[in-house]
Amino acid sequence: MSTATTDKPSSGANQSETKFDAEAFAMNVAQAMESGGKALAAYLKPRESGEVQDRPPPELTEMVKTFTAVAEYWLSDSSRSSDLQTKLAKDYLDLWGSAARRMAGQNAEPAIAPSPRDKRFADPEWKSNQFFDFVMQLYLLTTKWAQELVRDADGLDAHTRRKAEFYVQQVANAISPSNFVLTNPEVLRETMASSGGNLARGLKMLAEDIAAGKGMLKIRQSNPDNLVVGVNMATTPGKVIYQNEMMQLIQYSPTTEKVLRTPLLIVPPWINKFYILDLKPEKSYIKWCVDQGITVFVISWVNPDKRLGTKSWEDYMKEGPLTAMDVIEKVTGEMKVHTAGYCVGGTMLATTLAWLAEKRRQRVSSATFFAAQVDFTHAGDLLVFVDEEQIAALEHDMKAAGVLEGSKMAMAFNMLRSNDLIWSYVVSNYLKGQQPSAFDLLHWNSDATRMTQANHSYYLRNCYLENRLSTGTMVLDNTLLDLSKVKVPVYNLATREDHIAPAESVLYGSQFFGGPVKYVLSGSGHIAGVVNPPTSNKYQYWTNDNIKDVTVADWMKGAVEHKGSWWPDWREWLGSLDPEEVPARVVGSEALPPIEDAPGSYVRVRA
């Protein structure tokens, strides 16, 4: 059955000119119901075959336990409980009085207003239409009350309070009236204008996304058309010159006659794929580095399966950056490299530097960290998922599979910004029936990778749970690591709106290195603050030499703001350390001939 309307959603002035077609609406509702049946079938099929075992997600158990702790405080005292109900009742009465006065034609101030930055309620009809205005204010008052329950509950430990705040926000985001057809004015207008065509398209996409997720909803954030790794993204010319079972090492072809003598080794996170640094050419940090006269080598991590489940943090270090340094020496003749690590790749780089320092091996000239943490005291909302019980449960699941599926980690990251990365797509995809645009960054974000059980367990316990790296108690390869012995110059980049590696965390971690550290704060967040090419002329960055015993707020008071990208500042810093140049190098060598074109085959394996 086909929809009775066009495949393109209506918008703007055309909506008011389009007449509702009852026959087309009936056809589209039938189409939507048929797609709903397909969605249900796609959900049930892997469960009936045993591929998927339905169990309550551990997060649900944690949420119930956390909310129980909050409820116990309020219900343990009848006066507190009574005050609680009275406050909510008063807020509702104020709202009802405001709504009644407005219905009578009087001017009435709203009982509560959304934040100007809240995109969910940006449509004018949320304020101009009395029904939608009432529903919105009712929602905002209720969620404000729930948040105050957590804020004012005495006796909660810091971790329980953090979890409660997080889970309340998740529930609040999920029940927003903007997420439902009958309480979202934009969706209702679209439904009337297209005679239900939006719902037919949306349910069809829902069925496709559940099928693509093999029984789990895999929300599409980007249109995959014209977004192919090695064709439209990750196109900087280069070759894979070495590979083992953990990584491929890519060397990029020079574009300048001379290059810095000391090459650059980039250690990306294995939680995501390296091509975040090599998106389209105009956004590519790797291409920019090559054009700046740098010999660039990048690790492309394997997307592991159960066979590699026992690969540990030590294995990643030895078969990743340490092996890469040996290969680079064979290819270029240089014993030392500049290094750069992004996110958890930066944490891996820091442990590698500490290991090298303890072994008294001089292999590194400098270290650059992109939104990476070495201390996890201020690690942000990801700490919600970290305690002994949750890690033990995760380890139990990973032990059976050998790996943590990339979709689970991706969902955790998306939950940190669920309005932007989950619910906005639920509304636009499945309610408005709009195909998302082709956006390289979001395509990369959905290209999740698996993580080995041994490596991920070590990371969670030694970094997030026990914070061993900065305290000097982390043991790796029977070696006690001490960051104060890392004497190489460090360029430590944080991003101001980072929800994964908070700027406070990165700044605090700067003090643990034993050499000179340049802390730089970039505008925007974990991705856009790093991937910010100079040609885009976006955002800004701040510098301040004072990094000892200072918060970000105090650091900002003495910081100097610079417009645009931090990339040229970093290149100037790198050149100041070692300006010597040599003729541009060919890719590979006689002993290590190229294996295949960049970006290689490992990066193409999808979870």
Active site residues: 343
H or E element that contains 298: strand 296-301
Q: For residue 229, what are the β-bridge partners? A: 233
Give the separation between CA 202 and CA 217, rounded to whole angstroms. 13
The answer to whether 305 and 274 are in contact (CB under 8 A) is: no
Burial 593-602 (b: 16+ CB within 10 A, else e): ebbeebbbeb
Residue 295 near residue 259 (C-beta atoms within 8 A): yes
> Residue 345, CB half-sphere, CA atoms under 13 Å: how many?
28
CB atoms within 10 A of CB 36: 15
Cα distance between residue 514 and residue 481, in whole Å:
13
Burial 344-359 (b: 16+ CB within 10 A, else e): bbbbbbbbbbbbbbbe
Contact between 597 and 241 under an 8 Å Cβ cutoff? The reply is no
Question: If we measure between CA atoms, which residue out of 238, 602, 235 comes closest to residue 447?
Answer: 602
Answer for the pair 337, 328: CB distance below 8 angstroms, yes or no. yes
> Which residue from 286, 340, 357 is spatially nearest to 491, judged by alpha carbons?
340
Nearest to 341 by CA among 384, 303, 301: 301
Strand (E) or helix (H) holding 33 = helix 22-48
Angstrom distances, CA of residue 202 to CA of 31, 191, 226, 589 = 10, 11, 22, 53
DSSP states of 427-464:
IIIIIS-PPPP--HHHHHHTS---EEHHHHHHHIIIII
Residue 379 CA, distance from chain mean position: 14
**CA distance linking residue 440 with residue 401, whole number of Å:** 30
Is-contact 560 544, C-beta < 8 A?
yes
**Are 503 and 371 in contact, with CB atoms under 8 Å apart?**
no
